[in-house]
Amino acid sequence: MVLQAAASDIQIEFVDGVNGQDVPDRAIPRTSKHDRLANATIETDVVGLAPYRIVYRNLTSALILEDDVDWDVRIRDQLADFALSSNALLQPLSYSRAVYADPTFPVPPADGPDSIPDTSFENLPSTKPPVVSPYGDDWDVLWVGHCGMQVPMTKDTGIANGRIVRLNDMTTAARKYLWNFPSPFILKDNYPEHTRMVHHVQEGVCSLGYALSQRGARKLLFEVGLKDFTDPYDLLLRYFCEGTKGRKKGICLTTQPSLITHFRPAGPKSAMSDIGDHGDEFIEKNMSDMIRLSVRLNTDRILDGDTELWDQCPDE
């Protein structure tokens, strides 16, 4: 992962993991009667220590990554586009302090429309420039690495419905390569090839990569770190973003397809996870989910200075 980050001109800081069996029961928040989670789940939930570290060090924001992930060589361009979309969804319009392009933000009003139309990336509204973060000044979580999301499309979700849709994004793989855990998969089923969408989080799965603001880290430390530890961390993060299961709602944005996904090395599928059963099949070659110009799969070309990179999700 050090080489992957260096090839992307990104500096990373590693955080030591924990052995689940070394975590005593008294250190696990439990406010209801339920069994202790499996040690493997507790071990993977070390990413839940990130809010504590961000708050303790008073960081403005930080991006937290799992160690088995991959991204496109164009990740900086992708994140720049994500920032434009997040500003459109979260920043007040340029002429106002409290009027937003999304009439359902931060919460859909009871007397508001049942649904709202997409906003085109090519026609973003004029908003006030952010002061604190290039992604906007009113976010808690930017969940940019996941295994799937739903798209909040109606006000009965209780989640803002605003969504930015970019057509003909050639960093996005064709629909035949896309998959999603929650169903239906709205992006794949209802939109053209090479479409990217930015929207609020609903039914997120896998915390492969997510950013926290200082405000978000403080909220998450309270809502997840100090409340009943009932589920794996990605589900607790989902509950925070949705405002469910006793958690106060945070402001969380995501993008589909995911910008950061699992890297699948050649070998037995059973090695792909410490907490899930992936069966006894064998992966014949290295691959990464839904990433076109994978950094990991193009490392040798990048080191050699090649400009022709391998696209593992070609259109033809």
Assign 202 a pLDDT band (cuts: 50, 70, 90). Answer: very high
Check residue 266 and give its pLDDT: 84
CA dihedral 17, 22, 25, 29 (to 10 degrees): -10
CA distance 84 to 129: 10
3-17, 109-123, 165-179, 289-303: which has the minimum mean pLDDT?
A: 3-17
Confidence class of residue 281 from pLDDT cuts 50, 70 and 90?
confident
pLDDT, tens digit (0-9, with 9 covering 90-100), for 139-190: 999 999 999 999 999 999 999 999 999 999 999 999 999 999 989 999 999 9
197's enclosing H/E stretch is strand 196-200
Q: Above 70 in pLDDT, residue 48?
A: no
Distances (CA, A) of 77 to 56, 73, 74: 31, 9, 5
227-271 per-position pLDDT tens digit = 878 788 899 999 999 999 999 999 999 999 999 999 999 877 655
Q: What is the pTM of this model?
A: 0.91
Instruction: Write the single-letter amino acid at 164.
Output: I
pLDDT over 70, % of the chain = 88
Q: What's the pLDDT at 37?
A: 64
For residue 61, what are the β-bridge partners? 213
Tokens of 118: 């997409």
pLDDT digits (tens, 9 = 90+) for 59-110: 999 999 998 999 999 999 999 999 999 999 999 999 998 999 999 999 999 9
Q: Spell out the domain ranges in the chain.
A: 1-15+35-262
Q: Is the pLDDT reported for residue 24 higher than 80? A: no
> In the chain, what is the straight-line distance between the N-terminal and C-terminal CA atoms, in Å?
30
Tell me the backbone φ, ψ of residue 160, rounded to 5 degrees.
Answer: -55, 140
Q: Give 29's pLDDT tier (boundaries 50, 70, 90).
A: low
Q: Cα dihedral sign for 272, 197, 259, 226?
A: negative
CB 250 within 8 A of CB 216: yes
User: What stretches of 215-264 adopt beta strand conformation (E)?
Assistant: 252-256, 260-264
Min mean pLDDT across 11-20, 49-58, 210-219, 255-264 is at 11-20
pLDDT value at position 40?
66
**What mean pLDDT is reported for the chain?**
90
Predicted local confidence at residue 283, as pLDDT: 82
pLDDT above 60: residue 297: yes
Give the separation between CA 69 and CA 75, rounded to whole angstroms. Answer: 13
Tokens encoding 216 = 């978000």
At residue 51, the 3 state secondary structure works out as: helix
Q: What value does the mean pLDDT take over residues 14-23? A: 72
The pLDDT of residue 301? 96
Whole-number pLDDT of residue 87 = 99
